[in-house]
Amino acid sequence: MSVTERYGDPEARLEAVNDTVRIQLAHRSVRRFGPRDVTDDELTTLVAAAQSAPTSSNLQPWSVIAVRDPERRARLAHLAGEQAFIAQAPLFLVWVADLGRARRLAARRGTDVHAADYLETTLIGFIDTALAAQNAVTAAESLGLGSVFVGAIRNRPEEVAAELKLPPHTVAAFGLAVGEPDPAERAGVKPRLPQAAVLHREQYSDASDAHLDVYDERLAAYNARFGLKGNWTDRVLARLRGPESMGGRHKLRAVLESFGLPSR
């Protein structure tokens, strides 16, 4: 997989490349899966890779729930916006921002962890969970597996928590459907913004926005290949239009507080 596909730019070049980078450049979301299962050995490897990600102060504030049961996957698919690929994938991983473990540790020691009441600690929980999950994605792709992240697991967080029996001070951050990619799926490597739009040197410069128009053209061309409409600007503005475009996630602050993840 070449860098030209990653940017949708035939002139794009990378001089420092190895096998790991090639796997990363070839990443795409997979929403159709083949018939083979993800083995327990592969699952163990994915979790080991996840646990090898950086973690703030070695807090390791995350857990992951491997869901294989077809009926449970179907219920989670319903809760996450009726996304059928969740039920089709042989393995659905639910990544949990988990401050409950530290709270239980404090209870056993008879002490307090007041810093867990602050937004910073909640952010650490989500950030570390995401870092771990991305490590798992790269590991999965190195094993010939595909995946897709599912943010819609936050659409109905109370019902997801009940389905998974999540304890207090935890929340399902996102899901990850994993399986063998179906080669018949019509999808490719989606172009990303030009580096000139995201890479700033020494200080931020909004002159980088000058590169957005060419990206709109490239993404519109990519979308047209697969029967989709619109460009990047259209998508961003529609997604961030208002609470009605958030699938219920505009209520997340109150939900986090009710789960014991306050944001002082």
Residue 2 pLDDT grade (very low, low, confident, very high; cuts 50, 70, 90): confident
Domains of the chain in sequence order: 1-28 (no CATH), 31-182 (3.40.109.10)
What are 119-175's pLDDT values in tens digits? 999 999 999 999 999 999 999 999 999 999 999 999 999 999 999 999 999 999 999
Mean pLDDT of the region 37-59: 98
Q: Does the pTM of the predicted model rise above 0.85?
A: yes
DSSP sequence for 56-121: GGG---EEEEEE--HHHHHHHHHHTTS-HHHHHSSEEEEEEEE-HHHHHHHHHHT---GGGGSHHH
Q: Report strand pairing: 91-98 vs 170-179.
A: antiparallel
- pLDDT of 122 reads 97
What are 211-257's pLDDT values in tens digits? 999 999 999 999 999 999 999 999 999 999 999 999 999 999 999 99
Q: Is 41 exposed, middle or buried (0-12, 13-18, 19+ CB in 10 A)?
A: exposed
